[in-house]
Structures are given as C-alpha cells and as structure tokens.
C-alpha cells in the first residue's frame, strides 16, 4: 500500500477525474487497446465451451454451433475480431519499443523488429488457416 501524500496548506491539488481517458485521442486509443483483452478472453471462453461440448457427441456439438449462428453471436464475433486485430497491431507495434535486439554491437532499428513481428504474424496466420481449413 502506498502512503497518501501529505497536502501542504495553500497549494491547490488537482484531482484527475475518472473520465481522463476521454480527454485526448491517444488516451482513448489506450483504453480501446486495454479493452481488447476483454473481448479476446470472452472469445476464448466461448471456444472452451465448444471444446467442452466436443466429447459429448456430434449432437451436443452441432447444437452448440447452431447457437453461434444467432445474429447476436455473429455481431459479438465481428466486434471481437475487430478488437483482436487491434490488439495484434498495437502489440506488434509496441514490441519494437520494448524488445531491444542486438546484432553484435549494433542495435537493430526498432522498425525492423516491428516489421519482423508482423511478418511472423502473417506466416503463423497462413499456416494456421491452412491447418484449420484443410480437409
């Protein structure tokens, strides 16, 4: 726990309102970025339930897939996909800031690190798509 700061008389202490993230576009984008994790987690829970239905037989599984056809679920998944893509893009952009890569003595320019992350994402996505859609 942190100790509350001692306020000296005469000074004016500003308070940051809970709506601070509406003050500028960067703050707002930050909130969207953090919020993306909620949608990703919700999708994974839906996926987990799907896996849970799997050993219960083709009937239970098909019934579950049928629920996902409801317009509400489609809207949820469109929204979740948008947030997931936003997460990926922001995440890879920030890896260049966080991860310093050295080649010998020289530091690899962050832009290259970011580029490599996006390339990796593309390759992994294509392989995964191929694996899921095959046969």
Partner 1 sequence: MLTRKTSEPFWWLLFAAGGMVAALLVPVHLLVQGLAVPLGWTSISHARMLALAAQPLVKLYLFALIALPLYHWAHRFRFILEDLGLRGLRTPIALLSYGAAVLGTVATLWVLWRI
Partner 2 sequence: MTEETMTLEVTRYRPGHDREPRTESFTVPYRKDWVVLDALNHIKDRIDGTLSYRWSCRMGVCGSCGMMVNGVPKLTCAAFLRDYRPGPIRVGPLANFPVIRDLVIALDDFMEKLRRVKPWIIRAVEKPVADGEYLQTPAQLDAYKQFSMCINCMLCYAACPVYGLEPAFVGPAAIALAYRYNLDSRDEGYRLREPVLSEAVGVWECTFVGECSVVCPKGVDPAAAIQRSKLAGATDWLLSMIMPWGGRR
- How far apart CA 108 and CA 96 sit, in angstroms, is 10
Provide the greatest CA pair distance for the chain. Answer: 75
Residue 11 lies near partner 2 (rule: CB under 8 A): yes
| Region near partner 2 per CB under 8 A, out of 44-52, 67-75, 90-98, 116-124 | 90-98
Residue 125 lies near partner 1 (rule: CB under 8 A): yes
Q: Can you tell me whether residue 133 is helix, strand or coil?
A: helix
Pick one of 35, 100, 112, 119: the residue that binds partner 1 (CB under 8 A).
Answer: 35
Residue 106 lies near partner 2 (rule: CB under 8 A): yes
- How far apart CA 101 and CA 22 sit, in angstroms, is 35
- The structure tokens listed for 63 are 């019934």
Q: What secondary structure letter does DSSP report for 57?
A: -
Binding site for partner 2 (CB under 8 A): 1-3, 5, 7-8, 10-14, 16, 20-21, 23-24, 26-27, 30, 34, 94, 97-100, 105-107
């Amino acid at each position: 726990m942190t100790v509350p700061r001692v306020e000296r008389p005469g000074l004016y202490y500003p308070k940051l309102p809970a709506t601070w993230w509406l003050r500028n576009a960067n703050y707002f984008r930050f909130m969207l970025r953090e919020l993306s994790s909620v949608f990703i987690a919700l999708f994974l829970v839906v996926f987990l339930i799907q896996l849970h239905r799997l050993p219960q037989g083709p009937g239970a599984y098909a019934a579950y897939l049928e629920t996902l056809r409801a317009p509400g679920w489609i809207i949820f998944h469109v929204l979740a996909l948008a947030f997931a893509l936003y997460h990926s893009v922001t995440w890879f952009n920030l890896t260049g800031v966080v991860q310093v890569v050295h080649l010998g003595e020289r530091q690899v320019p962050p832009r290259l690190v970011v580029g490599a992350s996006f390339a990796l994402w593309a390759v992994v996505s294509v392989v995964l798509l191929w694996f899921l859609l095959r046969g």
